[in-house]
Chain A
C-alpha cells in the first residue's frame, strides 16, 4: 500500500539550525494492517507520519502509494510516486486517503462537536445534508450524540479523542494515521482506543500509529512494528 524508500527529511536545510529528523528510512506499510512506529520522543516518528500522510515533502527519497484515488489524477492502478506531485494534488490525496488523529487532537475551540467533525469535508463541496448525516452517525457510533451541539471545550479528554477520531473518519479515508494517541489517556481509555482501532482494522482500514506506549506497540492487534531512533530505523521490523 505505502512504500517508503530511503526517505530523508531535513528542516532548515542549509542553515546553522539545520536538523535531520528522518534519515534514510525505508519501510513498507501493508493494506489492512496495523503498523506501529515506535521509539522515544524526538526519534522522528511524527515527521515520518507527516511525510507518509502527504503533509510534507521529503528532502530526498521516494514514497509510493498504491490504490489511491484522487480527483484530477490518472487512476493509478500501479504505484503513485507522491513526492514529486504538486501541492494541490498532495492535498487532494491527503483529503481522500488519510485521516489524522493528532497527539493534541487539534480541534477548533469554541466550535460545536458536530462542526468540528464536519470541518475536513467543507472544502470538498459535497452535499451538506449527507455530510451532516454522516457526521451525526459517526458521533452516535462514538457515543457523542448528546454533545453534538456543544462546543468542544466542555468535553473530557477521552471524548475529545473520540471527536478527533470521528473527524479523521468523516471523509472515509483508507488510511488512519495516529500520532501518540494514548499520550493523554489513562490505561483504561488507552485500551478502549486500541479496541476501537481493532474494529477499524476489521473494517478494512490501514492503520499507522506512532507511539512509545507499550500498551500500543505490545497490543496483539499490531501486525508490524518499526523502531525509530534518531531518525533511523533500528533493529529488525517485527511482524
Chain B
C-alpha cells in the first residue's frame, strides 16, 4: 500500500474517532441529513416514475379530445359534430365518449362513471375499478345502487372488477352500458360528453384542431401532446409538490451549512492547533476535515437514496400518499416501475454532498493556516 493511501487511511481513522467523540450530536446530524436526502430523493424518484408511467400508459390516449364549452363550462357535444369531424381528411376514427362524475354520499367517494361500448356488458350490469370495489366493498355478482338524476335508484350487477394492475388509470371507474349511463344522468340521446378523435398521421393534429375550432367556435380541442405535457407539468420541478418539499429540504441544508460555516468551536480550533504543533501540515488538517465532511455526507447521501428507492418503488411512497390523497377517499394502489434518472441523481449529489463538505472544509482551512507554535503559546 503506497504512503499516500496509508496516510489517508490513518487520517480517516482519526476523522472517524473525532466524529465518534460527539456521538449523539453527529448521529443526530447524520439522521437528519439522511432524512433530508431521503425525502428529496423519494420525491425525485416518485415524480420521475410517475412522469414516465404517464407517458407510457397514455401513449395510446386519443390523438385529440374535442370538448364543447358553454358559458365557460364544459357542456355536452352534439353527435352531429362527430359526423362532421369524421368527414375531415386524415381522420381515422371518431368515438364519442360518455362519461361523468358520480359522488356517493354514503361512502364520501367520487367515482368516474363511463359508458362502455363492450357488447359483453348487458344492460343492468357494471364493471368497476378495483379501488371503487374496495370502497363499495363489493365483489363480482354483488349489486350496487346508484341514484339517478330523477332520484330513482339504478340497480346494477357487478359483472367484473378491473384487475388491480389497471388501478393507475381505472381505479375509480364504474363502467356502465351506454343506455344505463344515459338513464342514470338523463342525457339527451343525441349528445355525448366529448369526442375522442384519432388520426392516421399525428402531425396533422394541430391543423385538425384548428379546423374544428374554426367550424365550431365553442369547441375546445385538446391534443395528445398536451395530455402528456400536463403530467410533465404536474410533476415538474416547478410543480407544487416539488416546490413544497424541496424548499424544506433546501432550507435544512442551509441550516446545516450555516451551522458548520458559522465557524469552528474554540475546542475544534484548539485541536487543529495541536495537530499542527505535533507535525501535521496544513494539507493534513484539510484532508482530515474533508474526510470528516465526506464521511457524514456520503453516508447520508447513499443511505438516503437507497432508503428512498425502497420507499418509492417497494412500498409505493406511503409518505407522499397523505399529501397526494388529500381528503379524497379513493386512492389507487399501484406499484411504480423503478426509474432512476442519472442527471437528477447527480444534481441531488451536488446539492447534498458538496455544500456540506465545503462547509466543513472552509472553516477548517482558516483554522489550519495558523502557525504551529500558536498551540505552544496559548
Q: Do chains A and B touch in the complex (CB under 8 A)?
A: yes
> Could you tell me which residues of chain B, from 248 to 283, have a CB within 8 Å of some CB in chain A?
267, 271, 274-275, 277-281
Supposing A56-B371, A91-B279, A106-B274 touch, asked if A50 and B376 sit within 8 A by C-beta, the answer is yes
Q: Are A123 and B7 in contact (CB under 8 A)?
A: yes
CB contact between B373 and one of A50, A111, A122 (< 8 Å): that residue: A50
Q: How far is the CB of B282 from chain A (nearest CB, A)?
A: 8
Residues of A within 8 A of B373 (CB): 47, 50, 55-56
Residues of B within 8 A of A102 (CB): 277, 375-376
B147 at interface by CB-CB < 8 Å: no
Q: Are A100 and B14 in contact (CB under 8 A)?
A: no
Q: Are B6 and A125 in contact (CB under 8 A)?
A: yes
A128 at interface by CB-CB < 8 Å: yes
Residues of A within 8 A of B7 (CB): 122-125
Residues of B within 8 A of A167 (CB): 278
Residues of A within 8 A of B3 (CB): 124-126
Q: How far is the CB of A177 from chain B (nearest CB, A)?
A: 10
Bound state CA distance, A37 and B280, in angstroms? 26
Question: Which chain A residue has the least Cβ–Cβ distance from B280?
Answer: A123
Q: Are A100 and B277 in contact (CB under 8 A)?
A: yes
Question: Which chain A residue has the least Cβ–Cβ distance from B377?
Answer: A46
Bound state CA distance, A173 and B267, in angstroms? 28
> Could you tell me which residues of chain B, from 272 to 299, have a CB within 8 Å of some CB in chain A?
274-275, 277-281, 284
Residues of A within 8 A of B377 (CB): 46-47, 50
CB contact between A55 and one of B11, B275, B371 (< 8 Å): that residue: B371
Q: Tell me whether chain B's interface is mostly helix, strand or loop, or mixed.
A: helix
A161 at interface by CB-CB < 8 Å: no
Bound state CA distance, A102 and B274, in angstroms? 10
Bound state CA distance, A47 and B374, in angstroms? 10
Q: Are B274 and A108 in contact (CB under 8 A)?
A: yes
B17 at interface by CB-CB < 8 Å: yes
Bound state CA distance, A119 and B375, in angstroms? 16
Return the CB mask of B58-95 against A: 1 if under 8 Å, else 0: 00000000000000000000000000000000000000
Q: Are A126 and B6 in contact (CB under 8 A)?
A: yes
Q: How far is the CB of A92 from chain B (nearest CB, A)?
A: 9
Of listed A55, A102, A103, residue having the most chain B CB within 10 A: A55
> Could you tell me which residues of chain A, from 77 to 102, have a CB within 8 Å of some CB in chain B?
88, 91, 94-95, 100, 102
> Could you tell me which residues of chain B, from 1 to 56, have a CB within 8 Å of some CB in chain A?
2-7, 9-11, 13-14, 17-18, 21-22
Q: Are B9 and A128 in contact (CB under 8 A)?
A: yes
Q: How far is the CB of A135 from chain B (nearest CB, A)?
A: 12
Bound state CA distance, A100 and B273, in angstroms? 14
B372 at interface by CB-CB < 8 Å: yes
Residues of B within 8 A of A23 (CB): none
Q: Are A88 and B281 in contact (CB under 8 A)?
A: yes
Q: How far is the CB of B157 from chain A (nearest CB, A)?
A: 74
Question: Which chain B residue has the least Cβ–Cβ distance from A115?
Answer: B17
Chain A interface extent, by class: 35 or more
Residues of B within 8 A of A100 (CB): 277-278, 376
A112 at interface by CB-CB < 8 Å: yes
Residues of B within 8 A of A179 (CB): 376
CB contact between A56 and one of B14, B372, B378 (< 8 Å): that residue: B372
Bound state CA distance, A13 and B11, in angstroms? 36
Return the CB mask of A109-123 against B: 1 if under 8 Å, else 0: 111100100111111
Bound state CA distance, A101 and B178, in angstroms? 95
Q: Are B375 and A111 in contact (CB under 8 A)?
A: no
Of listed A102, A123, A171, residue having the most chain B CB within 10 A: A123
Bound state CA distance, A121 and B14, in angstroms? 12
Question: Which chain B residue has the least Cβ–Cβ distance from A179?
Answer: B376
Bound state CA distance, A125 and B8, in angstroms? 8
Q: How far is the CB of B16 from chain A (nearest CB, A)?
A: 10
Residues of B within 8 A of A118 (CB): 10
Residues of A within 8 A of B267 (CB): 109
A218 at interface by CB-CB < 8 Å: no
Residues of B within 8 A of A49 (CB): 376
Bound state CA distance, A123 and B183, in angstroms? 86
Of listed B3, B10, B11, B18, residue having the most chain A CB within 10 A: B10
Residues of A within 8 A of B274 (CB): 106-108
Q: Are B277 and A111 in contact (CB under 8 A)?
A: no
Question: Which chain B residue has the least Cβ–Cβ distance from A96?
Answer: B279
Q: Are B277 and A55 in contact (CB under 8 A)?
A: yes
Bound state CA distance, A210 and B265, in angstroms? 31
Bound state CA distance, A179 and B377, in angstroms? 10
Q: How far is the CB of B344 from chain A (nearest CB, A)?
A: 39
Q: How far is the CB of B260 from chain A (nearest CB, A)?
A: 19
Q: List 17 A-B contacts (CB under 8 A).
A: A55-B372, A56-B372, A91-B279, A91-B372, A94-B372, A102-B375, A106-B274, A106-B277, A106-B278, A106-B375, A108-B274, A110-B21, A122-B280, A122-B284, A123-B284, A126-B3, A179-B376
Instruction: Identify the A interface with B (CB < 8 A).
Output: 46-47, 49-50, 55-56, 88, 91, 94-95, 100, 102-104, 106-112, 115, 118-128, 131, 151, 167, 171, 179
